[in-house]
Structure 1
Amino acid sequence: MQNSRGWATGWNAARVVIAALIVVAVGAQFASSVAEAVARGRDVATVVANFFSFFTILSNVSSAVVIAWLGLRFFARGRRLDVDPPALATALAFVSTYMIVTGVVYNLLLRGIPLQPETVGWSNEVMHVWGPLFLLLDVVLGPARRRLPWSAAFGAAIFPIVWIVYTLVRAPLITNPTTGVPFWYPYPFLDPSTGGWGSVVFYIVIIAVAIVALAVGVVAIGRARGIRSDGTRAGRPIERRAY
């Protein structure tokens, strides 16, 4: 069923809808953050740079681009049930991993932290709950997934490592536009002033391991139910139809 034309049509339509919802959610939060900065006389350039330094924002924007691309590509090609191209399939595995991590980390570590006045409640839930949940479902239900090599799982760790290095290098150089303290960390578990560097390193290691483990899981599920470029799935040919 998951590789039928009807299922693929419905799922790719859902991809486009969810991508649009994520973009609207990010846009609503961005507008609220900038409006609050202007109203309170904060440095708008810093607020904007900080906004796009959150892993949540980066993972949501990138996932919206990828799933919208997949969905629109499907309809632009006349709803042909073709296996995902290698680069697009790899990007999908990566953003799926990042969104699942975003959902897990937020709901385990950040859910109890009071929201800022500029936080848009429904947008926050879309980016931390509904978006990640859809990407998780896409891993197990999305049609025409390509069977990726195991190396793709380790490639998923590159962006988070770069982001962590960027965050830790940039944070001491930025004055917090809300509190005025001479540093700004996007998440409290990365702030050494709250729990020390030992705590920061601990969380980095745990999250890095979780990212690789989740990426391995995403690739493993894709390999179990995916389609090779030669048109076989789990060792047998998939049904070909003239559409």
Structure 2
Amino acid sequence: MKKLARIIAGGGLLAGLIGLLLQFALTIPASMAAGRNFGLSILFYFSFFTILSNIAAVISHAAQLLPASMMAYFHRRSTGGAITTLMVVVGIVYHFILSPLWSPQGLFLACDVILHYITPGLMAAWWLASANGKARFKTLLWWLLPPAVYLVFVYIRWAFVHEVPYPFLDPALTRQELISGITGIVVLFLITGPVVVITDKIAGWLKRQYG
């Protein structure tokens, strides 16, 4: 299974790099055409949770192909679980909340499929293939830190450029709508994290029992 996990990590690395680079090549010109300068367009690209999560996934996959001593932090089960949770949430939020809001075409559609479906799927597949039962529930609160920091970043950026990357985070919404949107995402993380840990424990147990 270790060999399978490495193969999946290689696929995740390749898919993630293709998706991120293609999205960058498409986003920057489109953003500048919309009136942003080059610097703000770069910031716009990195303002999306999808992009940041996929970058984390790419780093994680790359680490699996290197000796553990070189990128030890990304070989920790807790780190892999946190990134898997991020990616699963990315896929769920996009599919059920964001995808009905627009209809991308051509290369934009290709990017959407890669970054919201393929890379989360590969991350989840890697998590299963590399399962060892060592994921711990006590680390779950730490897994909430990245989305919390991201939320702070979103509103700091909003204070300067008056735009948010996702409609459910828009301060122009009513207080109830805004609180409901943020609460829904928090609940999704609170559900997904434990599921990721439980999946590791079950898959790890099955490996020990049946090889």
Structure 1 and Structure 2 fold alike (TM over 0.5) = yes
Query: Structure 1 residue 191 and structure 2 residue 170: aligned?
Result: yes
Distance (Å, rounded) in 2 between the aligned partners of 1:149 and 1:9: 24
Q: Which amino acid is the alignment partner of residue 23 of structure 1?
A: L
Query: Structure 1 residue 164 and structure 2 residue 158: aligned?
Result: no
Distance (Å, rounded) in 2 between the aligned partners of 1:70 and 1:207: 29
Query: Structure 1 residue 217 and structure 2 residue 211: aligned?
Result: no
8 A Cα contact 2:135 2:200, kept in partner = yes
8 A Cα contact 1:97 1:214, kept in partner = yes
Partner of 2:132: 145
8 A Cα contact 2:133 2:202, kept in partner = no
Distance 1:68 1:39, change over 3 A: same
> Which one of 71, 75, 86 corresponds to residue 98 of structure 1?
86
- The C-alpha deviation readout for 1:94-114, integer Å capped at 9, x for no partner, is 010000000000000011122
> Which one of 147, 160, 168 corresponds to residue 173 of structure 1?
160
Q: Which moved more, 1:213-222 or 1:101-110?
A: 213-222
Identity across matched positions, percent = 22
Unaligned stretches of 5+ residues in structure 1: 1-6, 78-83, 175-182, 227-232
Distance (Å, rounded) in 2 between the aligned partners of 1:102 and 1:40: 25
Deviation at 1:37, TM superposition (A): 3.7
Distance (Å, rounded) in 2 between the aligned partners of 1:99 and 1:40: 29
Partner of 1:202: 180
Partner of 2:63: 69
Unaligned stretches of 5+ residues in structure 2: none
Distance 1:47 1:38, change over 3 A: closer
Deviation at 1:146, TM superposition (A): 5.0
Instruction: Kindly tell me the number of residue pairs found equivalent between the two proteins.
Output: 209
8 A Cα contact 1:32 1:118, kept in partner = no
Give TM-score, length-normalised by structure 1: 0.76
Q: Which amino acid is the alignment partner of residue 191 of structure 1?
A: D
Partner of 1:107: 95
Distance 1:116 1:224, change over 3 A: closer
Distance (Å, rounded) in 1 between the aligned partners of 2:101 and 2:107: 12
Partner of 1:21: 15
Deviation at 1:85, TM superposition (A): 7.5
Partner of 2:47: 53
Q: Which amino acid is the alignment partner of residue 168 of structure 1?
A: Y
- The C-alpha deviation readout for 1:65-124, integer Å capped at 9, x for no partner, is 1022113338x99xxxxxx97862111100100000000000000111225789622111
Deviation at 1:143, TM superposition (A): 2.5
Q: Which amino acid is the alignment partner of residue 48 of structure 1?
A: I
8 A Cα contact 2:60 2:74, kept in partner = no
SS in 2 for 1:49: helix
SS in 1 for 2:132: coil
Distance (Å, rounded) in 2 between the aligned partners of 1:53 and 1:146: 34
8 A Cα contact 2:57 2:83, kept in partner = yes
Root-mean-square deviation (CA, aligned residues, Å) is: 2.9
Higher helix share: 2
Distance (Å, rounded) in 2 between the aligned partners of 1:225 and 1:171: 42
Give TM-score, length-normalised by structure 2: 0.86
